[in-house]
Chain A
Amino acid sequence: MNCRDFTGFLAEYLDGELPGQVQALFEAHIAACPNCHVYLAQYRATVHAAARTVAPAPDTPMPDELVQAIAAALREQH
């Protein structure tokens, strides 16, 4: 397995979907290639960072005008 093949399998590796033989080759490549080892860590960190940053802070309120607009729209539904 070379770096190009390795890169193509990253998503399936993180999802635990690689067939056993391919996974063994993938892990052998991580052990042998420091550059891909770093790339895998950064790919995983990227997924984690995206998931962590979308949520608003717990104390973030809805904009007042949006709350009012929703309330008015729902009144029309009654």
Chain B
Amino acid sequence: MAESPGDDPALVEAMRAGDAAAFDTIVQTHGPRMLATVRRILSNEDEAREAVQEAFISAYRARQQFNGESKLATWLHRIAVNAALTILRRRKRHPEESIDDLLPRFLPDGHHRERFQTWDEPVDEALARRETAARVRATIDKLPESYRTVLVLRDIEGLTTEETAAMLGVSENAAKLRLHRARMALRTLLAPTFEGRVE
């Protein structure tokens, strides 16, 4: 995770001492990205704000435990992700939508059934357009919860497989398989955007 002004040692020391102004600065500095992350996990604005608020309360209570071994941003993000996962577990469980239709299909001899079209425009150039970036975010939100969550933790937050599996309470193999399926489903959903089939 990129270094940020929040890693200023004086600010960290003030935070550890419980200084309200230091926390205010940290909220302003780190809050936006924490909010963006938990929005992706929860797909619900009210719950995302609740998760960020809970995360800052947890961080305040645990401030003495922050020893600078990790970056402040990393520490805060882990707390925010945990707060979001707690909210997910609290939700009423509904049967999750299958993503099988979004996965590649194969002929009996193991060849792909589909002929894939090249995405002509480099993805970075397409993402430079605000509407394309927004469409990608909205597409991630369409993934069923368990797939969206593993994708956010591994590919967006950059957690290791081991950390992701521990946070989700699943085996490392299950986390790997779920991530792979999530990426393939997202590729299918993004294809119209990057093939220029969506206006």
Of the candidates A50, A63, A66, A78, the one whose C-beta lies within 8 Å of that of B18 is A78
Q: Which of B6-14, B92-100, B106-114, B162-170 contacts A (4 or more CB under 8 A)?
A: B106-114
Shortest Cβ gap from A25 to chain B (Å): 13
Q: CA A75 – CA B116 in complex, angstroms?
A: 56
A24 in the interface (beta carbon within 8 A): no
B contact residues around A63 at 8 Å (CB): 35, 49
A31 in the interface (beta carbon within 8 A): no
B contact residues around A71 at 8 Å (CB): 20, 24, 27
Q: Say whether B52 contacts A54, CB under 8 Å.
A: no
Q: Say whether A35 contacts B115, CB under 8 Å.
A: yes
A21 in the interface (beta carbon within 8 A): no
Instruction: Describe B's contact surface by its main secondary structure.
Output: helix
Of the candidates A11, A43, A51, A73, the one whose C-beta lies within 8 Å of that of B187 is A43
Q: Say whether A49 contacts B190, CB under 8 Å.
A: yes
Q: Say whether B33 contacts A61, CB under 8 Å.
A: no
Given contacts A49-B123, A54-B152, contact A43 B184 (CB under 8 A): yes
Q: CA A54 – CA B1 in complex, angstroms?
A: 13
Of the candidates B18, B28, B116, B187, the one whose C-beta lies within 8 Å of that of A61 is B28
Q: CA A67 – CA B30 in complex, angstroms?
A: 12
Of the candidates B32, B155, B176, the one whose C-beta lies within 8 Å of that of A51 is B155
B142 in the interface (beta carbon within 8 A): no
Q: Say whether B136 contacts A49, CB under 8 Å.
A: yes
B76 in the interface (beta carbon within 8 A): no
Given contacts A56-B32, A56-B36, A62-B27, contact A73 B57 (CB under 8 A): yes
Q: CA A2 – CA B35 in complex, angstroms?
A: 42
B66 in the interface (beta carbon within 8 A): no
B40 in the interface (beta carbon within 8 A): yes
A contact residues around B174 at 8 Å (CB): none
Which residues of A are at the interface with B, using a C-beta cutoff of 8 A?
A: 2-5, 7, 10-11, 35-36, 38-39, 41-43, 45-56, 60-63, 66-67, 69-71, 73-75, 77-78
Task: Report the 8 A-B pairs with minimum CB-CB distance, sorted nearest first.
Answer: A2-B110, A62-B31, A4-B110, A46-B187, A38-B116, A11-B180, A45-B123, A53-B136
